[in-house]
Amino acid sequence: MYVRLLTDRVYRDKNYKAGDVIETSDSLGGQMILNGVAVSATSDVSLDDMSKKELIEYAKDAGVEVTSSMNKAQIIDAIKGE
């Protein structure tokens, strides 16, 4: 399973940043999603390449609070936990 991290994490003795995509077991990936530290990632799509509408949907799916009045940079920062 591939997950996109929502926070900086150490996984298998390597440091990862929010937004990085890592491969995990289904069990661990599911746990990370339930704990709100990752979202499912079926492909390695850059947050910068997403439209504002896509970012809002992505954030809401990840449980990140955003509003339509936020700009793209603010939404990306919220997704990354900055």
Provide the residue range defining the domain that includes 79: 46-82
Q: What is the pLDDT of residues 51-69, one digit of tens each?
A: 999 899 888 878 889 999 9
Instruction: Let me know whether 59 and 36 are in one domain.
Output: no
Instruction: Let me know whether 13 and 52 are in one domain.
Output: no
Instruction: Let me know whether 27 and 55 are in one domain.
Output: no
Please name every residue paired with 11 in a beta bridge, in sequence order, or none if there are none. 14
Angle between the N-to-C axes of helices 72-80 and 52-61, in degrees from 0 to 180, rounded to the nearest 10? 20
Instruction: Let me know whether 39 and 52 are in one domain.
Output: no
Instruction: Let me know whether 21 and 51 are in one domain.
Output: no
Q: What is the pLDDT of residues 4-53, one digit of tens each?
A: 898 899 999 999 998 888 989 989 988 998 888 898 876 546 888 889 99
Instruction: Let me know whether 25 and 5 are in one domain.
Output: yes
- What is the domain count for the chain? 2
pTM surpassing 0.85? no
